[in-house]
Amino acid sequence: MARPTKGRLFQRGKGKNWYLQYYVNGKQVVVALRNDDGTRVANKEEAEAARDRELLPLRLQTVADRRRAVAEALETVESKAARADREAAAARKAAEESKANAARRKETALANGWQVFMECPGRPRSCRGTPDEIGTVRGYKNYYNLLVKWLKTNRPKIASLGEIDAATAGAMMDDAARAGNKASTYNRKIGFYRLFFEVLKKAGKVENNPFADLELLPMETNSRRPLSPEEVRRLLDNAPDRETRILFSIGYFAGMRLGDAATLRWDEIDLDRGIIERLPRKIASRARDKNAARVKIGISGYLLGLLMETPPADRVGLVLPAWAALYETAGGRYTINKKIMRHFRRCGIEPHEPGTGTPAERDAAGRIVKPAVRAVVRYSFHALRHSFVSHCAEAGVPLAVVQRAAGHATAGMTMSYFKVSDAAARKYAAALALPGPSDGAADREVIANRAKLKELADTAPAEAVAAAVQMLEMEGKP
């Protein structure tokens, strides 16, 4: 059997092209070598590979070997073609993804983020309105603006929402905590940012929710307290003008929120029936059945008298046009709250918890020597609504009626407003008595009379209390 030829490699010509010389059956063959893709062989290594491909058929000794070589060659060609197709498809996909990412970054640029959120069909029902219409939306937009402001100051290279990662989100909330955000405020911010990015993620606007894994701060609740009847009377009697008196009367006798009280319309009041029917602003945009969502509130004698003072010809449009105009003005709600706080103080009712709401103290160089203490609100206009619920419950108004008048979704929400006064607690305690040797009729009568005396002392006019004290002191003298 003839020894398989190895051929001879050589170069010639100006380009130093590689050639292969070999013999077949005594006949010389000279071949210019090329790579698989037809390009010129550049070095000896490529030349040897091209030589082996050229001589492979001569080295195969049997028909089976040749067939196998042909099959392997075909397979190699097909594999290369398949690989080329895969690479081309991957390149096209990468280009498409790059284009889509560029479009997404442009769409979710920080300047466009709020608009993109408000256009997402998956946003909650509480955001189906404008900031001017719904307080929740206004608060959410303020939180978004805080996010944008922080990024521009602390991460100026971030231009779109999709570039915000968990580390950036954590750094921002750490700054919020250091700035003195209360736990409730801190947690509300995280709640909004989680909601915001989750809506965008489901809509395919961003890939990740950077706030998803941030922990909430433990909260210490500071439940609001209702006003006493005497305090309510002071607020009404010392109102600086008639519209303010009506506003506070609506807050207490109708249990309305500030926005509803300030924007109440005459066509929502039926003086003949003694009824106010109103769709609360808080749920107006998301109520499916608006008629069913309307609250029906009876008009008390005090409020009815104030409303009847308005001549019939003037009972059109807004009941309190000045307050309504201020409430709907940009920044007007801050002004309203300041006016309400001043009125509380004018009536001897401090709206803030003692020791809170104090500004920072600075030395002569302007350095802070005592940090500011955030105000903890004890009383606000909403205290009138708390008082409405608590006083109605103490008076024996059925819980279902109070819940419907307040517009609460659940009885549990209504109960969270209900606080037991000292007088009510003593009244209910006096109603409990156990029979026994030391609990005769005379003892029970004394106990009941003392309880009644305490209750009268809590509600009687100051002159009557003074006269009773004087009488009791006279009884005690020899």
Residues 354-381: tens digit of each pLDDT: 888 777 788 888 887 887 777 778 888 9
Residues 128-166: tens digit of each pLDDT: 777 665 667 888 999 999 999 999 999 999 999 999 999
CA angle 65, 70, 76 (to 5 degrees): 125
Sign of the CA dihedral running 280, 282, 285, 286? negative
Contacts of 97 (CB under 8 A, 6+ apart): none
Residues 327-345: tens digit of each pLDDT: 988 788 889 999 999 999 9
pLDDT bracket for residue 439 (50, 70, 90): very low
Is there a contact between 233 and 297 (Cβ–Cβ < 8 Å)? no
DSSP-assigned states of every residue in 55-106: HHHHH--SHHHHHHHHHHHHHHHHHHHHHHHHHHHHHHHHHHHHHHHHHHHH
Residue type for position 218: P
Q: Report helix, strand or coil for 133.
A: coil
Q: Which of 307, 385, 395, 343 is nearest to 234 (CA)?
A: 343
Contacts of 55 (CB under 8 A, 6+ apart): 4, 5, 6, 7, 20, 22
pLDDT bracket for residue 290 (50, 70, 90): confident
Q: Which of 45, 223, 257 is nearest to 135 (CA)?
A: 257
Quote the pLDDT of residue 464: 75
92: its two tokens: 């096209």
pLDDT, mean of residues 238-264: 93
**More confidently predicted of 343 and 88:** 343
pLDDT bracket for residue 438 (50, 70, 90): very low
**More confidently predicted of 69 and 325:** 325
Q: Which of 384, 447, 441 is nearest to 417 (CA)?
A: 384
Residues 390-402: tens digit of each pLDDT: 888 888 888 777 7
Give yes or no for residue 70 having a pLDDT over 80: no
CA distances from 68 to 60, 72, 225 (A): 10, 6, 93
pLDDT, mean of residues 245-271: 93
Give yes or no for residue 232 having a pLDDT over 90: yes
Compute the distance between CA of residue 128 and CA of residue 123 in angstroms, rounded to an integer: 8
Average pLDDT, the chain: 82
Q: Which helix (H) or strand (E) holds 113?
A: helix 113-119
446: its two tokens: 């004394």
Residues 265-275: tens digit of each pLDDT: 999 999 999 99
pLDDT, mean of residues 55-66: 65
Query: What is the DSSP code (8-state) at residue 297?
Result: E
Compute the distance between CA of residue 143 and CA of residue 130 in angstroms, rounded to an integer: 15
